[in-house]
Structure 1
């Protein structure tokens, strides 16, 4: 890209950012549309446009935009994660699983994709696979309570109270409210510090 093209591209990007900061999503969408007319297939513009469509509550258009994005840029894990997220929201669990799996293949460090995959696998009742996915999530994001919470719930549902208890103890160290919630929901009591 030549210098003048880079400047034009940056101008579009910053105009869209300004519109978003002002809460003017429709105006930002128009900027991304103009950006794509000048820079067809630009990954940033395509991803941003898809995101804004989702923010505007236009799920069919957002989904179509995300599908076009992964078709144009199939090697980017984050794009597959976002597609999976939208599919999961539409309760297309099989589609979401495929998208999350692709995201984890392309970007094994993408903790959110492992979490999304874990949730989908829980819905399907494939708990062994869900445990594996959630363990990957918690390894990548050890201080986030979400993966730990789901992991403890799976162990409790599988009648593995000692595994759930270990997780509750772990959460007591940095997320005591989540640990207390798990104790209430699972009926698995854990003494503080023990």
Structure 2
């Protein structure tokens, strides 16, 4: 049997195929954006046939939501330094670093595009992603309350939203760049607000 140099190697089945397709989806979003994204392009990049993609995801939007939701979760580390001020600062810096990364820009571009409002799956994906961010960061606040650094009954979700709001305001409303100083200010303001509530 002769080797065909134009044939892409197969990547196997199951988890490997899923991982390859999800990674290819994010890569295609980074390169081409959401508007021109197709299942054919994703399948070709992943090294699978498009029917393999359709067997696992009913349509492009479902695939995009799955890829973005899975891609964002590990990208922002959740700190545990033993000090709430430092934890919030690191959490905010992680958010800023993610926003400034290619994957962060791709996720935000898709989730906040007109498609994010028109397509129910993307709107739900956006809610799921931001809810997941809050839930993953909740232990930072819970531990601080247990250590006596924050008042009992501090609302973790509200504190995390207070931390993220100034960062997202600059990115999405005023179009200003965000950096570590932005993160540090956001963390300090969120901590003051939580302690004075």
Q: Same fold (TM over 0.5)?
A: no
Q: Which has the higher contact order (CA 8 A, sep 6+)?
A: 2
Normalised to the residue count of structure 1, the TM-score between the two structures is: 0.31
Larger proportion of helix: 1
Normalised to the residue count of structure 2, the TM-score between the two structures is: 0.30
